[in-house]
Amino acid sequence: DKQLTQEELADRAGLSARYVGAIERASKSASVTVLGRIADALGVEAAVLLKRPKQ
């Protein structure tokens, strides 16, 4: 857990906070390029973002 706000993540990834929020709510889809930027901003591999959470 990186504990970033949407604004902090957006800033690190070079995206708008509104877009990051829309991706988080699943109202927008992210391209592979955007997923890569978010992964880089979080310091994780992009594949980590595609895994389903454990239940």
Tokens found for residue 55:
């239940």
**Which stretches within the chain are classed as H helix?**
6-13, 17-24, 32-42, 46-50
pLDDT digits (tens, 9 = 90+) for 8-43: 999 999 999 999 999 999 999 999 999 999 999 999
Tokens found for residue 36:
């890569």
Helix (H, G, I), strand (E, B) or coil at 52: coil
The model's pTM is 0.86
pLDDT higher than 90, residue 6 = yes
Q: Write down all domains in the chain, each with its CATH number in brackets.
A: 6-49 (1.10.260.40)
pLDDT higher than 90, residue 55 = no
Q: Among residues of the chain, what percentage have pLDDT more than 70?
A: 96
